[in-house]
Structure 1
């Protein structure tokens, strides 16, 4: 059981180290603590915190840094989430600027998170491939372009703009749409492309420019069925002292370049993961920390925001920002219903 003084010293070390990336010594702590304590007493307390596994000694300094166990203890028991009103107001203005599509909301959220945390952000959008196709609507824009609207049984809507190499008549667009609705309604999104291959001969028999329309729809459905994984701020890793080792940086970049790894991180199999209340989690993977926050959408769908950075990150601000963004995304999705 830690004393209040030990807790205060430990919290001061975490706050200072996440700010500076420099090991914290007893002399620095004397100026940070709200109470008077001699340098010798602080060193003794730091030794106790090291013995229980919350602090580590570095090779290059007499100061201490938080251990992985220490960060978990801080997040579970000591963290006070901080997000000032000015930041909240800025975020509200961004999303109120105009009406974003659902795709844009997810991408915008990803960019904002990376800019505000100076870390790498990932957004896992809802996995539409597990839904079934309910309806297709095709709206002509010109003789060479149209907007397709796909609606699933969960009410999820996806828009796709088609640009054709040759003129396509309104009659062909309508015939194609009617045929696809007749043959594909009720088909799982993940099976639509395969089923389209089966109905291509029917399309060829009824539509003059069927090749152009067929290729456009197959491309759109492949995009619709794929995992929506958006990543922003990968280069922010270059500026983190922890990744100054080029080999370590290469390993991190491999993770960031492989979108399938993000789903694995979200499921945190084999990794240390703790809940941070509600839908938030901290996952520790080697020298990296991943803070994740789920957002819930209509039709029992869910997506996930993730911040990836060094174990040393300002968890209080990161978690508060992600909670706020998750709520903003949920509210915007509700407005789209």
Structure 2
């Protein structure tokens, strides 16, 4: 049965008060602090219904109520309004990120900024190689039989590998190899490159074929056989701000967020840079993180996400403010990547 507007207003007030004060909320305080236009008795009745339906609960030590995961979920889905960021806040984010000099700097500035603005644990995934395209490939002679292959993606990520050549190779031959691989691979998505690399071996002139065979192995390692995705983490100390949010030990949570595979699962799965995802408490598949909530989104140049970013904190979270901050930082990071890809 759909819930009436008055009970929704009561739930919204309970969530907002509890997030702000960390104290269980009573009916008298709600009537005094919020313009509910009803008596304390009516609010008590509404709270009894909300409790019966699992949206709030009564801690055993208090006459007040606190939201449950189900209550937070209804609040996020129906009741919260994403807080618009002030022009000053937007300018501060833009100034902070505009000062970045390369992709590493963008990622580390972004993760620090998210942790500072939300006072939560912040995570930023480097642009995923699976979603990137080749921007440039450089070959640098280290010796007559060894070259350094440097790949730069359209998202600014840089990968480099050493390649041992089968014999001495002069500068003119290296230039010819460089020209051929760039003509074949620049602009292509990394996931589409294996067949193109194979074609390079067949198309190169005969005297360069042994070198191209060696180079193709390293190209495939760089383009296809990717290592683990990279992440940046900041603000772990923020978990210790409130022991009441985590009545048990913090250790399982700290251990979980040290696992990159866990963090990637939490923030790296968004295909869209326009949607903010919220996982609350028991919705989390990782048991050790079920006392936390995660707010995340994708980021990228345009609407296609090339990576994810987000924050993790207690379920008693300022969801509207956190969602606005995560969305704003993601948007600015996407704009920086778009500018860099055009330079």
Corresponding position: 1:122 with 2:123: yes
1: CA distance, partners of 2:189 / 2:227: 9
Is the alpha carbon distance of 1:119 and 1:300 closer, same or farther for their aligned partners in structure 2, counting shifts above 3 Å? closer
Partner of 1:29: 30
Partner of 1:305: 309
Identify unmatched segments of 5+ residues in structure 2. 142-147, 162-168, 198-209, 212-218, 285-289
In the TM superposition, what is the alpha-carbon distance from 1:224 to its structure 2 partner? Answer: 7.5
Per-residue CA deviation, residues 147-176 of structure 1 (Å, 9 max, x unaligned), is 985234xx34334799xxxxxxxx999987
Instruction: Map 1:46-195 to 2 at 5 A.
Output: 46-82=47-83, 83-96=85-98, 98-129=99-130, 135-137=136-138, 149-152=150-153, 155-159=154-158
In the TM superposition, what is the alpha-carbon distance from 1:85 to its structure 2 partner? Answer: 2.6
In the TM superposition, what is the alpha-carbon distance from 1:300 to its structure 2 partner? Answer: 4.9
Is the alpha carbon distance of 1:224 and 1:232 closer, same or farther for their aligned partners in structure 2, counting shifts above 3 Å? farther
SS for the counterpart of 2:300 is strand
In the TM superposition, what is the alpha-carbon distance from 1:131 to its structure 2 partner? Answer: 5.3
Partner of 1:279: 275
CA RMSD of aligned residues (A): 4.0
SS for the counterpart of 2:124 is strand
Contact between 1:129 and 1:226, CA under 8 Å: does it hold in 2? no
Figure out how many residues of one structure are paired with residues of the other and give that number: 296
SS for the counterpart of 1:100 is coil
Contact between 1:189 and 1:224, CA under 8 Å: does it hold in 2? no
Partner of 1:329: 333
Per-residue CA deviation, residues 284-306 of structure 1 (Å, 9 max, x unaligned), is 32211111111233695521111
Query: TM-score scaled by structure 2?
Result: 0.71
SS for the counterpart of 1:126 is coil
In the TM superposition, what is the alpha-carbon distance from 1:266 to its structure 2 partner? Answer: 3.9
Is the alpha carbon distance of 1:66 and 1:325 closer, same or farther for their aligned partners in structure 2, counting shifts above 3 Å? same
Per-residue CA deviation, residues 18-76 of structure 1 (Å, 9 max, x unaligned), is 11221111222122111443332221111011122211111111111111111111111
2: CA distance, partners of 1:173 / 1:41: 85
Corresponding position: 1:320 with 2:316: no
In the TM superposition, what is the alpha-carbon distance from 1:132 to its structure 2 partner? Answer: 6.8
Contact between 1:136 and 1:181, CA under 8 Å: does it hold in 2? no
Partner of 1:199: none
Is the alpha carbon distance of 1:38 and 1:172 closer, same or farther for their aligned partners in structure 2, counting shifts above 3 Å? farther
In the TM superposition, what is the alpha-carbon distance from 1:117 to its structure 2 partner? Answer: 0.8
In the TM superposition, what is the alpha-carbon distance from 1:315 to its structure 2 partner? Answer: 0.4
Contact between 1:289 and 1:310, CA under 8 Å: does it hold in 2? yes
Contact between 1:149 and 1:158, CA under 8 Å: does it hold in 2? no
2: CA distance, partners of 1:173 / 1:240: 62
SS for the counterpart of 1:227 is coil
Is the alpha carbon distance of 1:87 and 1:173 closer, same or farther for their aligned partners in structure 2, counting shifts above 3 Å? farther
SS for the counterpart of 1:150 is strand
Identify unmatched segments of 5+ residues in structure 1. 141-146, 163-170, 196-204, 207-216
2: CA distance, partners of 1:266 / 1:108: 17
Partner of 1:213: none
